[in-house]
Structure 1
Amino acid sequence: MTKFSANLGFLWNDKPLPEAIKLAHQAGYSAVECHWPYQFDADEVKAALQETGLTMLGLNTDRGDVAKGENGLSALPGREAQAQAAIDQAIDYAVKTNTLNIHVMAGFSSGVEAEKTFIHNLQYAADRAKLHNINILIEPLNHYDAPDYFLQTSEQAKGILQQVKRDNVKLMFDCYHLQIMEGDICRRLEKLMPIIGHIQIASVPDRQEPNTGELNYAYVFSKLKELGYSKPIGAEYKPKTGSVDSSWLTEYR
């Protein structure tokens, strides 16, 4: 049976995080994940996870100054201190909530110095996270939703991982972003499976419920089963009507 994780950055994001966790459990999700949970008390989040029996699969490092349009800090030369403070914050929250993965956000930048900065910050994150058995994730974002984001393709991510040289740094394979940027999803899954730490889904191109759009997720899930992938798949989509309808879960289980 295919298992799914509710991404609470988009689902029930009008509710306090502990309440959203309980709603995800009621809807039949096997796990949860979030974006930036820091406004919510970690002990309350942990209590909701324990009550429901759900695991928090992942959270993101802080974006930086959102008012100025920032979307991550770790590939910004000269911002290393802030980037590492954001990493420390994420690790601390992950430890308190038993979260398994941290997505280290690169930010808007480009060039050789940006790459060196990203690699250095990822090594810092990996070494600190390993003390707590936490994995670090990096995620390519498409150039429509995140123009000029440093990390845009799976091949670029693979090259970064080869330079980071840490076994607890993995690729977040978001089918929505990578279908837009590269396509050929199933062959990429097969090729990149050894370095994939988490998989996310949404319809393409509208990022809504995954049972619509140009990607045939029933086929993708059968391929993942063939490849031996059994972790919960992250449902990171924006509900079409604004309210969460999880009836598609039954279709894909």
Structure 2
Amino acid sequence: MLLEKAPAKINLSLDVLYKRDDGFHEIEMVMTTIDLSDHIELTPLKENVIKIISENRYVPNDSRNLAFQAAAKFKERFQIKKGVAIKINKQVPVAAGLAGGSSDAAAVLRGLNKMWQLQKPFEQLASIGAEIGSDVPFCIYGGTALAKGRGERLTELTPPPSCWVVLAKPSIGVSTKTVYEQLNLQHVQHPNTEEMVQSLKHEDYDRMCNHMGNVLESVTCKLHPEILQLKEHMRRAGADSVLMSGSGPTVFGLTRQETRAERIYNSLRGFCQEVYVVRMLGKPLELA
């Protein structure tokens, strides 16, 4: 059996530039991994099948699962005629804007690469990941990166300054597809991606906080006003900066003080069921 961690990500900045001819959106976003992870257990099987095992009722055990798709594409790409059982121990909330499913898929690609001793570079794994979902290439590498295109064009960035991250996921589901369909790029406030990149380069916490932005927030908040209430609650509790991650609904707040992070956490417990206090990981994963 082989174990692989699948860390969640947050978007420090998320911008959508335009809709492309292929139907996808051209994006520009700064992402970083956080210390909240699913744990993936890979067990080789003699028969040539893929089995998904999870105790979480929201995790599909068939080809709808991104981890299943990752294993299938990996086997197809490298002509592997062996099977694998994939046990997903969920810690990252499902459909939360934290790339939980994408990170599971990335962990499967990294794990199978080790288990079957293929020693393929991350670039090859990321090219498979790009066929599965926009966040998968980033999740292959982890760390902190600027992602462009559909998310597949990555530039490694300086890790964010050390701070605490308080995450809160309201008990609602958000359809990424619906959010993008309702996005009107003429009437949104675009974040300054270059300012975010520079704030990380100079390890400037205040500048980073001042330039956090997510172009999808206005759409998701219109569909689910409780996200705005959650953001305001976090600000009042003392977060230095607050943002929705991805297409939502998870909201995160940053603070440099552990005591303040605990205070924000405690203030949210009655307001929201799924609340976490974590650190940013920041540094990329290594090819073992």
TM-score under structure 1 length normalisation: 0.31
